[in-house]
């Protein structure tokens, strides 16, 4: 599977097969085959658009919740992680190193909704031993994209 094709798509999912072909030197058929294979094998899981929600009148609260859990015998962290990622509020769930075991990224309408999720759903799970919630106050960059203004080029221009 051609890694370069995947890297191009990861940066811009709207790029065409023809553009990828020109960028990589592969034929359009090779690019198409790489993408189809990646989709079939779930290497490409989803195509995504990054939206700066702060520009709209749609309030959204984002929070990172660190979760300390008691791993379950024979399944470790996987079973509880699956229960957590099935909640609609959980946008991302990661096993992490450090004093907490899972990092849960949550998006909700209000801080109260995040609090309700933590107290009524997350903390209520039998394996959860503790949580710490961090609210995101202002986004500057998301998924590699600068959200406000233009990203400044930090390198010097090439002169001959």
pLDDT greater at residue 158 or residue 130: 130
**Under 8 Å between Cβ of 126 and 60:** no
Kindly report the average pLDDT of the chain as a whole number.
88
Rounded average pLDDT over 146-154? 66
Q: What is the pLDDT of residues 35-59, one digit of tens each?
A: 999 999 989 988 888 777 777 767 7
1, pLDDT greater than 90: no
Q: What is the pLDDT of residues 87-109, one digit of tens each?
A: 999 999 999 999 999 999 999 99
pTM over 0.85: no
How many H helices and E strands in the chain? 5, 6
């Amino acid at each position: 599977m051609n890694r370069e094709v995947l890297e191009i798509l990861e940066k811009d999912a709207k790029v065409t097969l023809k553009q990828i072909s020109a960028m990589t030197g592969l034929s359009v058929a090779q690019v198409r085959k790489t993408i189809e294979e990646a989709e079939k094998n779930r290497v490409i899981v989803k195509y995504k658009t990054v939206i700066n929600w702060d520009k709209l009148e749609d309030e959204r609260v984002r929070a990172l919740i660190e979760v300390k859990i008691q791993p379950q015998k024979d399944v470790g962290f996987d079973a509880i992680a699956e229960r957590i990622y099935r909640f609609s509020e959980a946008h991302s769930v990661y096993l992490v190193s450090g004093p907490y075991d899972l990092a849960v990224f949550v998006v909700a309408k209000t801080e109260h909704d995040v609090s309700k999720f933590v107290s009524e759903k997350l903390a209520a799970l039998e394996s959860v031993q503790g949580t710490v919630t961090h609210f995101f106050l202002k986004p500057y960059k998301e998924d590699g994209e600068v959200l406000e203004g233009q990203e400044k080029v930090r390198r010097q221009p090439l002169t001959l």
